[in-house]
Amino acid sequence: MPDSIHVEDLPPGYPAYLGYVDGRYVTAPDLRKAFPAAHILELTVTGATLECDGVDSEKQDLTAAGAADWTARKLASSPRFQPVIYASVLGEPGYGMHDVLRELSIRSIPRSRVRLISAHYKWRTGGFAKHICGPGTCNLISPAMDGTQWADDYPGVSGHLIDMSVLRDDFFTATPDPQEDSVQLPGVPGIWLILHQLLDTQTQVEYVVGLGTSGRVYMTKRPPGGQWAVPVLI
């Protein structure tokens, strides 16, 4: 998956291209025109829109916390979607992929609900090293990423230099595994659609509806002064 702020430098024939929907360099519209048969992975660098695939966490763009906040909003609006987060595996504090993982954990967003693309250039000294960051490759992060931008000086059209990424084979087709579904209880971070909706005024039993990590819908309830029941699939 190549990308560049100059679309004319990108070579044809790749299955996917990375572009931006806002910020100083808006490339996504031109990519769709230039490569209509390819996947165009569209990122926001400002977090101002949810109408894209993912978000960019790096200096001058969003912090890791900002990227996680955007991801939570995206999941709330499109619970079956797996948002993409791009960040460097060796990024500056507050912007790198390790920070992203921590911020996702704080918000109780499981790793399985997102697609993560790290940036890690010239892993081996003296040349390109195409790899996906994780255990068994560079060993700089765990769990493994879904893709890695492994070069920022790959030969593009007319010798101009571009970025190049490699993605998992199922990057554009994978969906959350329902067998790995989990759901948070109200009162802790999670995606609950209706918080403390009182449906039974006689018994004062509270009911809430929320989303599991696979996007399936659950309901739980609690009596006055009692505990939340085990969520049930509805």
Using one digit for the tens of pLDDT, what is the confidence trace for 86-116? 999 998 999 999 999 999 999 888 888 999 9
CB 9 within 8 A of CB 17: no
How many helices (H) does the chain have, and how many strands (E)?
3, 12
Closest by Cα among 76, 74, 40, 36 to 55: 74
Of 87, 88, 82, the closest CA to residue 171 belongs to 82
Q: In the structure encoding, which two tokens stand for residue 102, read together?
A: 């921590």
Q: Measured on CA atoms in the order 91, 6, 114, 150, is the torsion positive or negative?
A: negative
- Cα 140 from Cα 170, distance rounded (Å): 22
Q: Is the pLDDT of residue 189 over 60?
A: no
pLDDT tens digit sequence for 213-222: 666 677 778 8
Exposed/middle/buried for residue 42 (C-beta within 10 Å: 0-12, 13-18, 19+): buried
User: Domains of the chain: which residue ranges?
Assistant: 2-167, 178-233
Only one residue has tokens 């709330």, namely 76
Amino acid of residue 201 = T
Assigned architecture for domain 2-167:
Alpha-Beta Barrel (3.20)
Q: Identify the bridge partners of residue 161 per DSSP, sorted by sequence position.
A: 155
- What's the mean pLDDT when you consider all of the chain? 86
Give the pTM. 0.75
